Structure 1
Amino acid sequence: MATVVVQQPLGKTGMEAWNSGICDCGQDLNSCCYAYWCFPCFTCTTTADFGESTCLPLLDILGPALMAAFGIGVCVPPVGLAMRVAVRYKYQIGGSICEDIMVTCCCMWCSWCQMSREIKARKKDVRVLQRNPLMQPVPMGVNPQVVTMQQPTVICTPPVGPGPAVQMVQIKPGVPPGAM
């Protein structure tokens, strides 16, 4: 009797889905209109929002022309495909390279609009961290790992005789007196 083992494809468990569908341009009409009226500018803006070089998408425009000049046909826009794969991996979105190729080849505008919506949605995710009450403010322009400022320790001694109390201040070495 044969044993059948069913395995999940690698990387599929724990993956998220896109925040919007490929044809959900109605969720962000400003980006949709921007992509429709000036697609090269839109792709450059989306790439910059993702943290990559602003001029990178221009290779999708100039690349096929250069490849055709050398007799090589290109049907998959390389930067559009690379960006889509990079967005999927950075945000741990499920999918496959085959899906990315199909979406990028069949509807490049929709693919870029979906990536733009995803990048904007992920930038809106703000995680609020609780501030540690023991942390003290650090002066502007000072690297807290290089300079540690400590408060002076005040030691009061009881009065000796009829005069006022004597106050001694202990200053830590390496800290300028005016910085306290």
Structure 2
Amino acid sequence: MTSQQPTAFVMSHTSNQWSSGIGDCCQDVPECCFSFWCFPCFACSTARKHGECLCLPLLDGFGSCVPPITLAMRVSVRNRYGIKDSICNDCLYSTFCGVCSWCQISREMNFREQNVTFINGRAK
């Protein structure tokens, strides 16, 4: 008598597009509220979640026109997950939609780093 152990099937999120738009803050209301009420804390915690220094976003104030850390984080997230977009869009979003850009970065990391696991419970 032989039996086969159930195996897990892991599905990863592999798309070359952002999982949400720049203005889709309603997809994660708690994070949207956190970013609205305490943006420096939100940006720092998002940078930390990405594996960067906790205080890195505070250096954005030293940029001239384009916030350098916000821009670098967008590019880094795009590279990490293989998202197709342009540096021009990254510059525009970082400059004119900074808070929304950080929210999009956070939503993307949350979306990409969750794994969906299906387990087949049948033994043969």
The TM tier, using the shorter chain, reads: 0.7 to 0.9
Q: CA deviation at 1:75?
A: 1.0
Structure 1 residues 127 and 56: alpha-carbon distance in aligned structure 2, compared to 1, 3 A threshold: farther
Offset of residue 126 of structure 1: 4.8
2:54 matches 1:54: yes
**How far off is 1:127 after superposition?**
6.1
Q: Which of 81, 86, 94 matches 1:91?
A: 81
Go from structure 1 to structure 2 and tell me whether the alpha carbon gap of 1:126 and 1:51 turns closer, same or farther (over 3 Å shift).
farther
Tell me which structure has the larger Cα radius of gyration.
1
Rounded to whole Å, the distance in 1 between the matches of 2:51 and 2:79 is 14
Residue number in structure 1 paired with 2:32:
32
Q: CA deviation at 1:125?
A: 2.4
State the identity as a percent: 51
CA 50–21 in structure 1, closer or farther in 2 if over 3 Å, else same: same
Deviations 1:137-160 (A, max 9, x none): xxxxxxxxxxxxxxxxxxxxxxxx
For residues 68-114 of structure 1, give each alpha carbon's deviation from its aligned partner in whole angstroms, at most 9, with x where no partner exists. xxxxxx11000000000000000000101111001111110110000
TM-score (norm 2): 0.80
CA contact (8 A) 1:25 1:113 kept: yes
2:122 is the alignment partner of 1:122: no
Match of 2:8 in 1: none
Contact preservation (8 Å) 1:15, 1:94 = no
What are the within-5 Å matches in structure 2 for residues 6-155 of structure 1?
16-61=16-61, 63-64=62-63, 74-126=64-116
8 Å contact from structure 1 (residues 76, 105) kept in 2: yes
CA RMSD of aligned residues (A): 1.8
Instruction: Give runs of ≥4 in structure 1 deviating > 2 Å.
Output: 125-128
Kept in 2, the 8 Å contact 1:44–1:54? The answer is: yes
Q: TM-score, normalized by length of structure 1?
A: 0.55
Structure with larger RCO (C-alpha < 8 A, sep 6+): 2
The unaligned stretches of length 5 or more in structure 1 are 1-13, 65-73, 129-180
CA distance 1:116–1:125, shift in 2 (3 Å): same
Task: Measure the CA separation in 2 of the matches of 1:127 and 1:88.
Answer: 24
Instruction: Measure, in 1, the Cα distance between the counterparts of 2:86 and 2:65.
Output: 18
Distance 2:65 2:116 in 1: 38
Work out the CA distance in 2 between the residues paired with 1:37 and 1:126: 32
